[in-house]
Each structure stands twice: as C-alpha cells, then as structure tokens.
Amino acid sequence: MTDLVTTTATSSKWLQHYLNTFDWEKVLHLITSRFLSLLFLTLLFFVINLVGRWILNRSFKRYLVPKGGPTNRLQTISMLTMNLFHYTIIFFWAYAMLSTLGVPVGTLVAGAGIFSLALGLGAQGFVSDLVTGISILMEQQFDVGDTVKIGLITGTVSAMGLRTTQVTEADGTVNFIPNRNITIVANRSRNDMHATINIPIAPTTPVEKLPAIIHATNDRLLPEHPSVVGEPVITGVVTLPTGELVYQVNLVAKSGSQFGLQAAFLTAYLKAIREAGILLPTHNSLQNK
C-alpha cells in the first residue's frame, strides 16, 4: 500500500513538473503559424484557380463563338483543358499542404513500396480513362453536342472530362460513363440521317392514288423544313417483319432533325390521305433507320 502511494505521488510530481516546464507559448505559436500558413495556401490556390479559369475561359471564348456559331470541337477541348487545370491545382495544393505540415511527401512516396504499389494499381483506372479520353479527342470520335450511342446508352454528349463522359438521354437522364469503358461509339451527328415513314395501309387501299397525294404534301412541306436533304423517295408498298402492310417514304435529313421530320411528314401524309377520302387502318407503325 505504501509503495502504491509513493508511486502515485512520484507520478503526480512528474506530471506537475512537465506541465510547469511545458512551453505553451511555443506550441500555441506553432499551431497558429501552421494554421495561418494552411489558410494562406488555400486562399492562394483558390485565387490561382479563379484567375486560371478566367484566363482559360477568356482565351477559349474568342474561338468558341466564331462567325458560323459555336463549334463542338473547341467546346470539347475547352472542357478537357479546364479538367486538366483543375486536377493540377488540386495536386499542387495537396502537396503544399502536406509539406507545410512537415510531411516529407517525396520521401514518403519513395519509401512506402506497398503504398506506392497500391496507389499505382488504383491509379491504373484513372490513367486508362485519361489515355482513352485523349484518344477520343485526337481521333475525333465525338464532341460535346453530338448524338451518340455508347453501349446501350443513346443520347447527347453534354460534357467530356478526363475521367468520364456525360451522355444525356432524351428523357433527361444523365449517364456518367468512364472513358475506359467506351469501346464502340455510334456517332449520329456526323452524316445525314435517314428517316423512314411507314403509312399503314390495307389490302383494299387504292395505292395508285397515294403518290399524287404524297407529292402534293411534299411540295407544301419541303419549303417549311430546310433540314430535308434532297427530295423524299417513295419506296411504295412494303411488308414489315411484323406482317403489317405499309406504304413507305424515305427522307434524308440533317443529323438530329430526322425524328421531328418523321413525325411532321407522317402526320401531314395521314391528314392528306384522309381528306382525300381514303380510309386507313386504325393502327400505325413507325420504323427508324
């Protein structure tokens, strides 16, 4: 019991001596100086980020809106440049913060073999995304604003970054696709597109009267739709794989306008045929090309 009391008293004296000799002013000064240094670095990199983005935006703005209107190509390059600048700022900010805290970043990364290996394996996906993104840009596979089909996803490219490509579907769904997963791309914005209009008919429909009605409707509609390339081509009576009998007309349209044209022309054809007193089946069928 006496030994326990002696030990406790000794420990209490040692703790009291340590607290009395502890340089609280030095510690407080160190904490304050480090905090101010970290705050200064954060503000500095924040300003650098703002100024850098302003310079890049101003530089690209001179080329993003040329006489012919905005170009998707320059918009894509602008987004990738902004992405690269953003990641660079984050890297140097993190490096400066760790160095200020006294962490030997270079020595730590060089000496931690297992950590470096794990980091390297984890970075493989990022590097793959980066390389694939640069390849897509260099090969001009698609640009921001293009309508594409990537795998099972069809939509408009709304953004392109170093790691992911954003594709917005017709219903507004935004898909974030890692660049390394982009293998086969169907770009629907590079060439003129075909729109096939199927007018449902019955075996008793007087098809010999349809060409005149369709030509008259085309003469009325074509001046209103400059996105139609050339003249619509009448294919005639066709049996669909489902067994339906249709009278087919083909349009060549500028990319992106084919669906609207298909609906507009089909509506006009059906109205004109009915006004001519020709009865059509109550169901209709559309097929895109």
Query: What's the confidence (pLDDT) of residue 288?
Result: 41
Query: What's the confidence (pLDDT) of residue 283?
Result: 54
Would you state the structure tokens that stand for residue 229, as one six-digit string?
């390339």
Claim to verify: residue 103 and residue 9 sit in the same structural domain: yes
Claim to verify: residue 198 and residue 107 sit in the same structural domain: no
Whether residue 285 is contained in a domain is answered as no
Cβ neighbours for 85, distance < 8 A, ≥ 6 positions apart: 49, 52, 53, 56
| Cβ atoms 73, 138 nearer than 8 A | no
List the domain range (segments joined by +) for residue 37: 2-111
CATH number at 266 reads 3.30.70.100
Query: What's the confidence (pLDDT) of residue 269?
Result: 92
Whether residue 40 is contained in a domain is answered as yes
Query: What's the confidence (pLDDT) of residue 33?
Result: 78
| pLDDT one-digit tens code per residue, 148-177 | 899 889 998 888 877 888 999 988 899 999
Query: What's the confidence (pLDDT) of residue 286?
Result: 40
Would you state the structure tokens that stand for residue 15, as one six-digit string?
């703790």
Query: What's the confidence (pLDDT) of residue 70?
Result: 47
Residues of the chain with pLDDT below 50 are: 5, 67-70, 114-115, 284-289
Query: What's the confidence (pLDDT) of residue 168?
Result: 92
DSSP 282: S
Question: Considering 66, 91, 111, which residue would you say is the last residue of a domain?
Answer: 111
Question: Considering 93, 111, 129, which residue would you say is the last residue of a domain?
Answer: 111
Dihedral angle at the C-alpha atoms of 26, 28, 29, 32, nearest 10 degrees? 160
Query: What's the confidence (pLDDT) of residue 1?
Result: 54
Question: Considering 85, 111, 137, which residue would you say is the last residue of a domain?
Answer: 111
Count: domains in the chain: 2
Whether residue 271 is contained in a domain is answered as yes
Query: What's the confidence (pLDDT) of residue 212?
Result: 92
